[in-house]
């Protein structure tokens, strides 16, 4: 069994990005610039945005953080999105989700200029991704593809089961795996899927993105399978200072001995998600997606 080290791979990619940024700047290009809009004080969102800002610093990007309280109106947020769309120094920006219930997330996402949508959530980027055009790809599936490639894991002709069909993970993941280049035969499973156990147990590549801690047990995995665990659920723990522990969707101790490759939680998919946002920002700065 080979443990896929997302932390190390992400660190390697960050070094590559930092070297490229250094060279770009030496050649007179402007500094890539990423902005984040953060609404309210949700603990998870605060942490994710703080990481994004730190990541920018590490690779030599400029970053901006725009904060609003929970009572910001949809109109105010839309006006800020419009301002950022027109900010020529800015290569990309993200609006950290979730937003308060009185704001339509979809409306905000669709207001973002697709050319600056480095989260890859805008329907134009999703559509372009589906038909195989250059696009900003949602960070988590993009990070998983990068891991599979860097570990030289064969995907062509393999049976891949993706458990989960969300717009940010399962759905785009299933599309990417079926595309030319990856060439897997993909099944998308969800909460209404019949015989999930048998389906998973036949997969050469199993991607678990359902958000149910330790749901995938040993008897749901084929000998020699590649298992990618996307799940990150905070569960109560007396053993940590924070009072919680991060759990994946896979019961690691049972599943790992059967696998050819497996990602751990933490240290697997998570760090790759972070690095993919940097990749997208760099692609935008270099105008490689939209000329």
Q: Which is nearer to ligand NAP, 176 or 189 (CB)?
A: 189
Question: What is the spatial distance between Cα 54 and Cα 272, in angstroms, rounded to a whole number?
Answer: 15
Is residue 119 annotated as part of the catalytic site, yes or no? yes
Q: Which is nearer to ligand NAP, 39 or 200 (CB)?
A: 200
- Which residues have a Cβ under 8 Å from the Cβ of 25 and sit 6 or more positions away? 31, 60
Query: Nearest distance from residue 92's CB to ligand NAP, in Å?
Result: 18
Q: Which residue among 14, 55, 80, 96 is the active-site one?
A: 96
Q: Which two tokens mark 227?
A: 């298992």
Query: Nearest distance from residue 8's CB to ligand NAP, in Å?
Result: 16
The three-point CA angle 6-7-11 to 5° equals 110
- Which residues have a Cβ under 8 Å from the Cβ of 40 and sit 6 or more positions away? 68, 69, 70, 100
Q: Which is nearer to ligand NAP, 86 or 191 (CB)?
A: 191
Is residue 106 annotated as part of the catalytic site, yes or no? no
Question: What is the spatial distance between Cα 146 and Cα 276, in angstroms, rounded to a whole number?
Answer: 9
Residues near ligand NAP (CB under 6 A) are: 140, 163-166, 168-170, 189-193, 196, 209-212, 230-233, 269-270, 273
Q: Which is nearer to ligand NAP, 72 or 275 (CB)?
A: 275
| Strand ranges of the sheet holding 33-39, from the earlier edge strand across to the other edge | 62-68, 33-39, 92-95
Q: Would you give the DSSP letter of residue 98?
A: P
The three-point CA angle 210-133-105 to 5° equals 45
Is residue 229 annotated as part of the catalytic site, yes or no? no
Show the beta-strand stretches assigned E in the chain. Answer: 2-3, 33-39, 62-68, 92-95, 159-163, 185-189, 205-208, 226-229, 233-236, 244-247, 261-262
Q: Which is nearer to ligand NAP, 161 or 184 (CB)?
A: 161
Q: Which residue among 119, 142, 204, 229 is the active-site one?
A: 119
Q: Which residue among 14, 52, 222, 279 is the active-site one?
A: 52
- The set of catalytic residues is 52, 96, 119
């Amino acid at each position: 069994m080979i443990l896929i080290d997302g932390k190390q791979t992400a660190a390697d990619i960050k070094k590559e990005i930092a070297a490229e940024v250094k060279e770009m700047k030496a050649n007179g290009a402007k500094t890539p610039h990423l902005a984040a809009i953060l609404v309210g004080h949700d603990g998870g969102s605060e942490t994710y945005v703080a990481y994004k800002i730190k990541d920018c610093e590490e690779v030599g990007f400029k970053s901006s953080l725009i904060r609003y309280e929970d009572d910001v109106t949809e109109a105010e947020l839309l006006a800020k999105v419009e301002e950022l769309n027109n900010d020529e120094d800015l290569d990309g920006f993200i609006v950290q989700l979730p937003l308060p219930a009185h704001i339509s997330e979809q409306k905000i996402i669709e207001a973002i200029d697709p050319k600056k949508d480095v989260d890859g959530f805008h329907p134009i980027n999703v559509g372009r991704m589906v038909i195989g055009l250059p696009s900003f790809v949602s960070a988590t599936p993009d990070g998983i593809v990068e891991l599979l490639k860097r570990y030289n894991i064969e995907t062509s002709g393999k049976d891949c089961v993706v458990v989960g069909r969300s717009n940010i993970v399962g759905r785009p993941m299933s599309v990417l795996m079926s595309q030319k280049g990856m060439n897997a035969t993909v099944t998308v499973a969800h909460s209404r899927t019949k015989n999930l156990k048998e389906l998973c147990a036949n997969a050469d590549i199993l991607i678990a993105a359902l958000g149910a801690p330790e749901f995938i047990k040993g008897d749901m995995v084929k000998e020699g399978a590649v298992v990618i665990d996307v799940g990150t659920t905070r569960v109560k723990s007396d053993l940590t200072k924070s009072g919680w522990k991060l759990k994946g969707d896979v019961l690691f101790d049972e599943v790992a001995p059967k696998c050819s490759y497996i990602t751990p939680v933490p240290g697997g998919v998570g760090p790759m998600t972070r690095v993919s946002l940097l990749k997208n920002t760099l692609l935008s700065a270099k105008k490689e997606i939209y000329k």
